[in-house]
Amino acid sequence: MDDGRVEVTVQAAIPVSEDRCLDERLAASFFHMLPESGLALRHIRRPGSLRDAWKLLPSRVTVSLPPKEAMSPEIFTAAWATLDLLHRRGRKVRIARLPALGDIVLGDRSFLAKALAKRYPETVENPRERAEQALPSRERNLFLVQDAQAKAGFIAVSAPYETRPLYLLAKKWQPLAAGDRYNLRPLDYPASHAARPVGDARGGSYSLPLEELGFDTSSRFIGSRAGWEAVVTPGDLPPRTRPDRLSFKVIVPVGVGEQGYEAYVYLNDVLLRAKRLRDSGR
């Protein structure tokens, strides 16, 4: 099922007729499930993929962040998106600071290696070098760390701290997370930069009204919330173009209380930004 549970259905079909005069087996039609029936379980000692590690997270998840002096806006944004994903999965969250290793760890490789090295027993020679070897190459920014000697296993998010790597842990994309390390970059990252689209003389950009993309932009009465949904395919866009920015212009009534309206932007189930809409006419 979508929430991770397994639905088990048992059905019995006995070949008898409902006419007792024609079929004497009707009185003997029964199905009894013995109490010895059960579900055989196999303990997974070490998850083999990010997908399995995410599903096996406990009900109370510990998220480790770098020390306060090492925090940056990028790390904060990635941590915020991680907490939002966990909250919507029904998990409770506890925040810790490196070198404490939690179930999910956000930090540069230097912080991860330093924290992992402290977990090795004293009999291990060169623990820092051993910790560096346990981490994937620097090109990976979403990966699973498992080290039996250090008794450590956690999901790591490293630089660049875009929220986009977390898409792979969202419900829609989890089936793709069958590996244990990924190199995920935004579309505008230089390594995966696409060719510039051809457009008008002002800079090669297009602006399509949302109505042309299938959105219903008519006014709606909102009791508590309302939703607009449309599916945009590459065929809906002009040739040799790609999406670059989504712009919304809205009108809402004023005087809705002290809190007002708040806009939450999600992309592939990952929270990108939240902003309070002010009565400024913009």
134-158: pLDDT as tens digits: 888 777 888 999 888 778 889 999 8
- Local confidence band at 175 (pLDDT 50, 70, 90 cut-offs): confident
Average pLDDT estimate for 5-14: 74
Query: How far is Cα 252 from Cα 235, in angstroms, rounded to an integer?
Result: 33
Binning pLDDT at 50, 70 and 90, where does residue 179 land? confident
Residues 6+ apart with CB under 8 A from 239: none
Burial of 158 (0-12, 13-18, 19+ CB in 10 A): buried
Percent of the chain's residues with pLDDT above 90: 15
Does 63 score more than 90 pLDDT? Answer: yes
DSSP bridge partners of 111:
none
Q: What is the pTM of this model?
A: 0.58
The fraction of the chain above a pLDDT of 70, given in percent, is: 72
124 or 105, which is more confident: 105
Residue, of 227 and 24, whose pLDDT is higher: 227
Q: pLDDT-derived band of residue 201, with 50, 70 and 90 as boundaries? A: very low
Going from N- to C-terminal start, the domains of the chain cover: 50-182
User: Across all residues in the chain, what is the average pLDDT?
Assistant: 76
How confident is residue 19, by pLDDT bands cut at 50, 70 and 90? low
Which architecture does CATH list for 50-182?
2-Layer Sandwich (3.30)
Model confidence at 21, pLDDT cuts 50, 70, 90, reads low
Does the structure show a pLDDT above 90 at 33?
no
Q: Tell me the two tokens of residue 120.
A: 């090795």
